[in-house]
Structure 1
Amino acid sequence: MSKKKDNLPNPFNEQPLGGLLKSIDGFFQNAFQNFQFVGGFPVYEYETETHYIIEAELPGVKKEQINLDIYSNQIKISVESSEVIEEKDDKHHVYKSSNSFQRAERYIILPFTISQKDVKASYRNGLLKIMIPNKKKRIEIE
């Protein structure tokens, strides 16, 4: 038994519905193209004799997009990106506008409380480096 396949047009490929679906697909495919931190970003922590150091890899991010907040023994690193794309075609009377906003953040819990005045941060070549004086004190055991 063979089934006969109708040669009916696929409404999902026809205009205007097909065009609408393609533009929706394009939006979701391109929405996070310029912002790589949807799932977070790599953060590394290590200690030296004098400092506790936190490094975050943030390639392609501008310094103005980075925020550092201090809460007692925590540091929050957040990165925000927003973009407005507008397209206008006077010939076909089409106007498209799309907005995107992305935010990624990481909390680092430190083994001691910190003061904002003690924290130094720098950002160069996509690497955020946070230096905190190491307040760890050794206790001599008798």
Structure 2
Amino acid sequence: MTRYSEELYNFEHKLKNTFDDFLKRIGLYGDENKEESYYKDRKITCFNPKLDFHENDKEYLVYVELPGVKKEEICLDLRDGDRVLNISGEIKQDEKLEKGRAHIEERRFGYFRRSVVLSENVNLDNITAKFHDGVLKITIPKQELTKSKKVSIH
């Protein structure tokens, strides 16, 4: 029984050290000299908003939940070569809420980024986006892929 406790303690210690090292590297660790300040006064500064990706005969539809975000704070980036649609931005916390003590914090603040890999049959020139009531709707029209054709040899 004692041996199991030691193994469990060692595993827990190694796991905690791994997470500590990771959090230090990305800047989410509290005061490095005080163990009790592990997450104290730190907010996670990135998150993934919820996303739906649908398809019908004519188009692909992407819906992203972004409550509390202003349209101007959303960036859509599409690189033609790699066919990846990047959706990014930031939700800023009200400065009034940063002071004082929180009893419940469930809302998300900070940077977000989601990426959607598009298929080859999309019309990259006619992608549209609308933002209404905290939901970003991106419409990606389809186009027919060029079919192979026979080439006659002369």
- What is the TM-score when the length of structure 1 is the normalising length? 0.55
Instruction: Give 1:84 shift.
Output: 8.6
Sort the Cα spacing of 1:56 and 1:84 in 2 relative to 1 into closer, same or farther, 3 A.
closer
Q: Is the 8 A contact 2:87 2:115 kept in 1?
A: yes
Higher relative helix content: 2
Structure 1 partner of 2:88: 78
Give the aligned length.
97
Q: Distance in 2 between matches of 1:115 and 1:70?
A: 12
Q: Distance in 2 between matches of 1:43 and 1:84?
A: 24
Aligned Cα root-mean-square deviation (Å) = 3.2
Structure 1 partner of 2:69: 61
Higher relative strand content: 1
Instruction: Give 1:83 shift.
Output: 6.3
Structure 2 partner of 1:133: 141
Structure 2 partner of 1:122: 130
SS of residue matched to 1:117: helix
Q: Distance in 1 between matches of 2:115 and 2:67?
A: 19
Give, as a single letter, the amino acid of the residue that structure 1 aligns with 2:87: I
Give, as a single letter, the amino acid of the residue that structure 1 aligns with 2:52: Y
Deviations 1:36-71 (A, max 9, x none): xx3211111111111111110111111111000001
Q: Is the 8 A contact 2:124 2:140 kept in 1?
A: no
Higher alpha-carbon Rg:
1
SS of residue matched to 2:47: coil
Q: Is it true that 1:44 corresponds to 2:52 in the alignment? A: yes
Give, as a single letter, the amino acid of the residue that structure 1 aligns with 2:113: E
Q: Distance in 2 between matches of 1:48 and 1:116?
A: 17
- What is the TM-score when the length of structure 2 is the normalising length? 0.51
Moved over 6 A (4+): none
Unaligned runs of 5+ residues in structure 2 are 1-38, 97-108, 148-154
Sort the Cα spacing of 1:40 and 1:65 in 2 relative to 1 into closer, same or farther, 3 A.
same
Sort the Cα spacing of 1:110 and 1:63 in 2 relative to 1 into closer, same or farther, 3 A.
same
Sort the Cα spacing of 1:49 and 1:138 in 2 relative to 1 into closer, same or farther, 3 A.
farther
Q: Is the 8 A contact 2:126 2:140 kept in 1?
A: yes
Identity of aligned residues (%): 27
